Amino acid sequence: MSKKLVAQGLKDLKAEAAQRVSRIPRAADADRDPALPQQVQPTEALAPAPAPALVPPSFEASTLDGMDQAKQIETLEAAYWDADRAEIRSFQLAKMRGSVLKGELLQLLLDRRAHEHRGVTVGDYAESLGIKRQYVYDLIGAARDIRALAPLIEETSTPVVASQAAVLAPLYKADPEAAGLVLQTAKDTGKLSAASLTEAARELGLLPPAVDPAPKPTPPTPAAPADMASRLAFTDAYKVLAPKRIEQLVQEDPAAVLKQAEAIEAELTKVQRRVDAAKKAARKAIGART
């Protein structure tokens, strides 16, 4: 009898303890087993956070309540330019991430000689990926530049694309602080680009000034009418009948040379008739003026 009472008492104590535990709020990682690696933890503990909405919320029109018309326009224009900057930043961020990931993957593929495994050249392998051979190396270089700039990018929250990274990377390697100043100066212009970064670096004396392009050659003076007529009448024939050329052609096919010379002669006869008519018209005009 006493054993039954003890057993019943233990059962009641366990039930009471279980009820107390069930009322304690569960920790977020309550289902995690510290002895197991991350990859094999229970699914509930690894549930991802909800993804942010892809479509942004609408602008709250109520924000304009109580503003005069001028202030409303100012507020809306400011929101527009904020959206414009956000669009550019989002594009640059996506472009930067794509350049880094693709460039580093291409480097690994080349390191592991993926093209040789397929029995093709690097160029053929690039074409199989839908890109040109040179673009493979461009992406690899861009990935290297952007990766080197990672501390500056994170510190300034400014994504950069490949052309911008190509300007900043050597400056950052030489002097990280100076590169940060160049980046900020370029951003202050309102348009971050490779050109604005280069100009900022020149203004700060970090790059040599731009070299003025060589002046374009002066176009030749138009030929006088007499010279032009001479060229139109005789230039082609003169070249065709060059002595050295004729000497060579006669040795190869004298009949063809004779035929060509007769054709040129016939053409010159037509030209001569027009020359005579032009001279006659010119003399008539001069006589009328006098």
DSSP 16-42: HHHHHHHTSPPPTTTT--TTS-GGGS-
Sign of CA dihedral 65, 69, 71, 75: positive
- Contact of 174 with 148, CB cutoff 8 Å: no
Per-residue model confidence (pLDDT) at position 88: 82
Copy the structure tokens of residue 150: 């990672």
Q: Give the DSSP per-residue string, 64-88.
A: GTT--HHHHHHHHHHHHHHHHHHHH
List pLDDT tens digits, range 87-127: 888 888 999 999 999 999 999 999 999 989 999 999 999 99
Please compute the mean of the pLDDT values over residues 41-68 and round it to a whole number.
75
Give the whole-angstrom CA distance, residue 144 versus residue 148.
6
Own/partner pairs for 46-54, CB < 8 Å, 24+ apart? Answer: none
List pLDDT tens digits, range 220-254: 655 444 444 444 445 556 666 777 777 777 787 78
Place of tokens 């503003």: 67
Q: Give the DSSP per-residue string, 129-173.
A: TTS-HHHHHHHHHHHHHHHHTHHHHHHHT----HHHHHHHHHHHH
* Mean residue pLDDT across the chain: 79
List pLDDT tens digits, range 74-83: 999 998 988 8
The neighbour count for residue 67, using CB atoms within 10 Å, is 13
pLDDT tier at 261 (50, 70, 90 boundaries)? confident
Judge if pTM exceeds 0.75.
Answer: no
Give the whole-angstrom CA distance, residue 262 versus residue 256.
10
More reliable by pLDDT, 268 or 165: 165
